[in-house]
Amino acid sequence: MSEEPRSEGPTVRTTVDGPILEVVLDRPKANAIDAATSQELSRVFAGFRDDPALRVAVFTGAGERFFSAGWDLAAAVGGEAFEADYGEGGFGGFCELPGRYKPVVCAVNGMAVGGGFEIAMAAEFVVAAEHATFFLPETALGIIPDAGAIRLPRILPAVVANEVLYGGRRLDADEAERWGLVNQVVASHDLLTVAHDLARRIATAAPLAVEAVMAIGQVSCHRSVGDAFAYLRSGELEAYERMLASADALEGPLAFTENRNPHWEGC
């Protein structure tokens, strides 16, 4: 597939490779995110959500030292409010983006600090370079990691999450993989290759099936298993009903019986 570079703005670079959108946060020195950068990322990820030709996004930081240092504290000292307008998708562009049923692969190329760590937590898949580290320093700064306080205890054992949240414990890449924060740890020079390979595997699946899986995960995480099944069978989950009624739901079994690759229409 040929790559199509796009110029989104001064701090965000994007490239399209078939169904994959690569998003690079490029804001020296630490890829910190202020409100304007987050709004820019929100526009990029809203475009990703709304473009039927795009199926998976790969998000990474420029350079090898920082994936992202999170909230730009210099902007905060300069008067930017903690509750500033970060765009439709919330801080980082995709973490709270409504209607996003397409997966994001984070390629963590260095330190994921504060909001940078929270961005990685919000991704469906995470590939990390060997030297990557993850930590939340907020309590030492007199604030808290809002998204981290919500998401991290759902991923890590409580005592480990508490040490990260309360005491700023740093997790190296291997620890992050062991605790289920990271899919795979790879050499730095292989990071984007592995992330794109993962994205391509996801992109070969039926798009409406991927959308349905994501939608089910989002609505069932706060329900009991019984309540989740009841909601699934209620007919109210649009993504699930759309998948069941799609031509792709017929194409998949037909392609299997005919011993050929399926041709997905996304409808």
Q: Pairing mode, if any, of strands 171-172 and 125-129?
A: unpaired
| Residues forming beta bridges with residue 171, ordered by sequence position | 134
Q: pTM for this one?
A: 0.92
pLDDT of residue 222: 86
Q: Pairing mode, if any, of strands 66-68 and 111-113?
A: parallel
pLDDT of residue 83: 74
Expressed in angstroms, the distance from the first to the final Cα of the chain is 23
Verify whether residue 138 is a known catalytic residue. yes
Task: Give the span between the Cα atoms of 110 and 112, in whole angstroms.
Answer: 6
pLDDT of residue 1: 40
- pLDDT tens digits along 105-135: 999 999 999 999 999 999 999 999 999 999 9
Q: Which residue has the tokens 């796009």?
A: 6
CA angle, 221 as apex, 125 and 104 as ends, to 5°? 20
C-beta separation of 143 from 198 below 8 A: no
C-beta separation of 90 from 97 below 8 A: yes
Task: Give the span between the Cα atoms of 15 and 190, in whole angstroms.
Answer: 18
pLDDT of residue 4: 63
Determine the distance from the C-alpha atom of residue 91 to the mean position of all C-alpha atoms in its chain, rounded to a whole number. 12
Nearest of 157, 146, 89, 149 to residue 123 by alpha carbon: 89
Catalytic residue among 22, 88, 96, 118: 118
Catalytic residue among 22, 40, 138, 211: 138
Task: Give the span between the Cα atoms of 45 and 54, in whole angstroms.
Answer: 11
Task: Give the span between the Cα atoms of 186 and 179, in whole angstroms.
Answer: 16
Buried b (16+ CB within 10 A) or exposed e, 240-252: bebbeebebeeeb
Verify whether residue 22 is a known catalytic residue. no
Q: Which residue has the tokens 């209607």?
A: 99
pLDDT of residue 7: 53
The DSSP secondary-structure symbol of 96 reads T
Task: Give the span between the Cα atoms of 266 and 225, in whole angstroms.
Answer: 29
Q: Which CATH class is domain 3-203?
A: alpha beta
Q: How many helices (H) and strands (E) does the chain have?
A: 11, 11
pLDDT of residue 78: 73
Low-confidence residues in the chain, pLDDT < 70: 1-9, 79, 81-82
